[in-house]
Structure formats: C-alpha cells, structure tokens
A and B are shown apart, each in its own frame.
Chain A
C-alpha cells in the first residue's frame, strides 16, 4: 500500500508530496526473513508497578545472517536495544524501554527496523501505552465518592 499526501503551502504550485509505503500483513507471525514476537508492543499501565520496558524476540527464519538495525523511532517516547546479528534459525532478544518523560503519557507510536538481508527488508512495530488507574486507587476514589455523598 502506498499513500501520497499532498502538502499545500503559501509557496504556491506545484504542491509537494511525501510518500509512505507499507506492506500490510495479515500474518505477522509468518513473515520472511524474520518473525517478530510479539509483533505489537503494549505498555499499558494497569497497576502501581511501573511498566516501562518490554522485551520482544526477533527470529531469523532465513538461511543467512541477519544484521538488525534501527531505521526510525521516536526518542521522545522510548529507546530500543536491538540484538545485532542473528544467525540462521536463531533468535535474538530486543528490549524497548520508555524514557522517563513518557511514563505519564498515553501514546500510539511505532518504530521501524531493517534486518539487513539483500532486500533490506523492514518491519514496523506498533507501540501503545494507555494509563489505567490501579484497582487500589479506583477503590479509594470510590470510597471518597461514597463519603461525600449525602
């Protein structure tokens, strides 16, 4: 899929465009030459224990070494450690860690990696964070509400 939004400015015509391309896959668990699990990262904060990092696995399902590198990510929200070179049939563990400024934010972002095969195949991993009140906090809030009720 390719999208080409047009940017209209006071510069006048011709308008300029950017282009975004994506290969939408229904089966992210059977991609080639690598499989990423989980293929979506969710760092939703449910309780009081801070969820600020998540690990994911990149499996090399090809017959050649893969050299995993970062293409693009949003450093205002997270940092990503990648495993480097992964041998055929092996897997490497990667880690995404939120930056401190992102802990109290809700967001839906993504990062894109390249696995360094002859086609320079890319993968984009969605990253989501929502903030849910802890059960303890919710109970406390409910209690406070009861006390104030007439």
Chain B
C-alpha cells in the first residue's frame, strides 16, 4: 500500500502585538507551504509550521483537520 506517515507539527508562537488595532484574535502563518521533495515510501517525516498570534486577544487553536 502506497502510504506515508506525515507528521505535521504545529507550533504556536505567542507574539504580543501591543499596538495591534485588528480587534480580536488573529493568526498569521509566515510559511504556509512546505515541499519535502523526495520521500522514501513508508517513511515518517515531519516539519514545523510556525503560527503567530498577531491579534489583540488570545488565539485558541481549536482543532487541526487533516486534509
């Protein structure tokens, strides 16, 4: 079976945007795409995505839906 285990690690950086006038929580993702290139079949690989909280209230990651 042609499967691969991909581990997606999401890391939240709490960046305090003191002068933000966005109102409410806001999230920015500096890097949204990552290309692993060649990956051996049935290997487990991982990559960190950094999520920045850029709003003026607490950002809550409610869930991550595989897609």
Contact = CB atoms under 8 A, between A and B. Distances in A.
Interface string A1-37: 1011111111100011111111111101001000000
Contacts, number: 139
A105 B27 CA distance: 32
Interface string B16-57: 000000001111010011111111110111111101000100
Interface in A92-150: 108-110, 112, 114, 121-124, 126, 128
Q: Interface extent on A, as a size class?
A: 35 or more
Contacts of B33: 18-21
Dominant secondary structure at the A interface: strand
Dominant secondary structure at the B interface: strand
Given A126-B44, A126-B45, A9 B27 contact: yes
Interface of A: 1, 3-11, 15-26, 28, 31, 39-40, 72, 74, 108-110, 112, 114, 121-124, 126, 128
